[in-house]
Structure 1
Amino acid sequence: MNQLTTMERRGLSAISTPGGRMLIVAADQRNGMKAAMSDAPGSVSTAELAAAKADLVRYLANNAPAILLDPEVALPAVVDDGVLIRGTSLVVGMDASGFETVDGLRYTRLVPGMTARRVRELGGDAAKMLWYLRPDKQDAGSRVAAEMRELIEACTAEGVLLIVELLTYRLEGETEHEYAAAFAGLVADGARLARECGAKVLKLQFPGGAEGCAAVTAAAGGVPWAVLSAGVDHETFLTQVATAMANGAGGAMAGRSLWKDSLSVSPDVRRDYLTKRALPRLYELAAVLDG
């Protein structure tokens, strides 16, 4: 296990339920959230997206331990405008939208100007950075591992808990069957590589079942990991979370499974859907985590 500093322990506590389970509403998506708001995502303005994110905080995330938001649209407005309440912690997403492909491998980048210090300036209690990873092609000497180590060290020096999010993906020329057969092992091997790079907290894809979750827990070597919703429906995610928790996971970070059918572009309808659809789902998820 990679030891947490005192400030990182405070960050982990801030994003956790009373039972000590991580629970974060993920709302740092930009293009993906526009797609949930309209069949014509390009017609959704930045101002409309910012208003939707504020409503997500106001009517949903203010009832959770923490909210994950981006520094391009949502922040610092939800803090400066008093939308985010005192009892809900803020996780600042550091990754920019999209990725570049080099020699068949995907690479993400930081939002311009984002640093560990900037996370603090935005009022963050913790940070999150996404890396795409194929641990069968990338090892501890790879570019992605070097990027991971550098940011983890910078955040530790600043006293910011960094949540390392990993996404594995299918390579060009790899069949769906080949990828499906390798998937659980890729998630576990990714967790192992991130731990070797110094990760303190992990956000990971559901590795397919109880055996996969147990393998991830073993690979993480004591580093707490939370399962992400990856766009599955709410009932499916509840089942995945229960399986993950029974096999060593430390929490959940839920986005679209909570709110993807609640983001009408009409503010009145959005408020109604968030309070009557999304909020009960949040409470059900919290019950699974602490139950």
Structure 2
Amino acid sequence: MRIVSENKRKALQNLMNDQGIISALAIDQRGALKKMMGEKGTQAAMEEFKELVSEILTPYASSILLDPEYGLPAAKKRDANAGLLIAYEKTGYDATKPGRFPDLLPIWSARRIKEEGADAVKFLLYYDIDEPAEINDQKHAFVERIGSECAAEDIPFFLELVSYDSKIEDVKIKEYAKVKPHKVNDMMVEFSKPKYNVDVLKVEVPVNMDYVEGYGTEAVYTKEEAQQYFKKQSESTDLPFIFLSAGVSAEMFQETLRFANEAGSDFNGVLCGRATWKDGVQVYANEGVEKAREWLQTQGKANIDALNKVIQASASSCFEKIK
């Protein structure tokens, strides 16, 4: 059980539902969203689509994650009961050298994010537990600095961890599926250490469900093995942790959460992005604002309603882990 300050506790409550579960909507995508929009991906269009998502879907979410580059107008459109997380990192990573090193947005800080009305700071880190110490030590120090900054501002720190293997280019292939449980679960052990001042981990599920027996065309794990990896993930941290959707379909993400629950995972909710609103991007780009609004009010809402039902039935309260 982690002890948090009164200010952090109140901020975390703003991000949860009444049961202490985080059912958050993520639309802090920048590079990925611009790519999805193609030639329509202008500053104005990116801002407008985020505003639509925020306005229409936050009445059904406990909170929303946005970025400061395109998302601040959307923050003002969110439902009065929805909390706010703001991303601190630049989109992507440094591809000019090994290590997938991150960087922070240069005119932002934890203080400025807090002054913008955010309840929490979110930072995304790409991490390969097996890379050399000269790479990972730099990442450890980077996260320590952000954690110290958030502690000084007394604002919750959400650390999003995305695994990779420096020797395997495609994380969707069978070879990566074999090592993914180790990559995901062991990095959670590392960043649960108190020195990082992390309050909530946002993480991948520990397996690729396309390679679980009975779920995909080729099995890397039996159902029992996959369940054990989910159980081990829960045992890898004493922090609240929530799942990211990693761009999978709404149906697959919901099925994955059910599987996690059956495996005994004590995950504490989701920060779900593309699985909820992805198909609405092309509607917006090809057919305009009103058709996109219509899609979000119908299919987008249906996606988030279905996800909320699964979360309510399967996630655990954050208050089992913090006080």
Task: Verify: 1:244 aligned to 2:260, yes or no.
Answer: yes
Q: CA deviation at 1:10?
A: 1.7
Residue 287 (structure 1) aligns with: 309
In structure 1, the residue corresponding to 2:192 is in which secondary structure? helix
* Equivalent residue in structure 2 for 1:108, among 98, 102, 107: 102
For 1:155 and 1:173, locate their aligned partners in 2 and report how far apart those are by CA, in whole Å. 34
CA distance in 1, matches of 2:67, 2:197: 24
**Shift in Å at residue 159 of structure 1?**
1.3
Residue in 2 that maps onto 1:214: 231
Q: List alignment gaps of at least 5 residues for structure 1.
A: none
Alignment of 1:4-23 (within 5 A): 4-23=4-23
Match of 2:217 in 1: none
CA drift of 1:139 comes to 5.8
After TM superposition, list the pairs within 5 Å mapping 1:1-291 onto structure 2: 1-36=1-36, 38=37, 41-75=38-72, 77-79=73-75, 82-101=76-95, 104-137=98-131, 142-172=137-167, 176-196=173-193, 197-208=196-207, 209-220=226-237, 222-245=238-261, 246-263=264-281, 264-265=284-285, 266-291=288-313
Q: In percent, how many aligned pairs have the same letter? A: 25
The 3-state SS of whatever aligns with 2:266 is coil
Asked whether the 8 Å contact 1:213–1:248 carries over to 2, the reply is: no
Q: Which runs of 5+ in 2 are unaligned?
A: 208-225, 314-323
Residues 31 and 92 of structure 2 are in contact (CA less than 8 Å); yes or no, is this contact kept in structure 1? no
Q: Deviations over 1:149-168 (max 9, x none)?
A: 11111101101101100001
SS state of the match for residue 7, structure 1? helix
* 1:102 CA displacement: 6.5
Inter-CA distance 268–174: structure 2 relative to 1 (3 Å threshold): closer
Distance 2:102 2:67 in 1: 15
Q: How far apart in 2 are the matches of 1:139 and 1:161?
A: 28
CA distance change for structure 1 residues 104 and 12 in 2, over 3 Å: closer, same or farther? Answer: same
How big is the shift at 1:27? 0.3
The runs of at least 4 aligned residues of structure 1 exceeding 4 Å deviation read: 138-141, 173-177
Q: TM-score, normalised by structure 1?
A: 0.91
Cα separation, 2, equivalents of 1:191 and 1:257 = 23
**CA distance, structure 2, for counterparts of residue 236 and residue 107 of structure 1:** 30
**What letter is aligned with 1:285?**
L
Per-residue CA deviation, residues 239-266 of structure 1 (Å, 9 max, x unaligned), is 1122334411111111000000012231
**2:316 counterpart residue number:** none
Q: Cα RMSD between the aligned structures?
A: 1.9
Tell me the CA shift for residue 23 of structure 1. Answer: 1.2
Change (3 A) 1:244 1:15: farther
Tell whether the 8 Å contact from 2:203 to 2:244 is kept in structure 1 after alignment. yes
- Residue 60 of structure 1: CA displacement? 1.0
Structure 1 CA distance for aligned equivalents of residues 302 and 169 of structure 2: 40
For normalisation by structure 2, the TM-score amounts to 0.83
Separation in 2 of the partners of 1:252 and 1:98? 21
**In the comparison of the two structures, how many residue pairs are matched?**
284
Q: Distance in 2 between matches of 1:192 and 1:15?
A: 24
Deviation of 1:59 (Å): 0.8
SS of residue matched to 1:131? strand
Query: Could you say what secondary structure the match of 1:54 adopts?
Result: helix
Structure 1 residues 287, 214: closer, same or farther in 2, change over 3 A? Answer: same
Displacement of 1:130 in angstroms is 0.2
Helix, strand or coil: the match of 2:236? helix
8 A Cα contact 1:116 1:158, kept in partner: yes
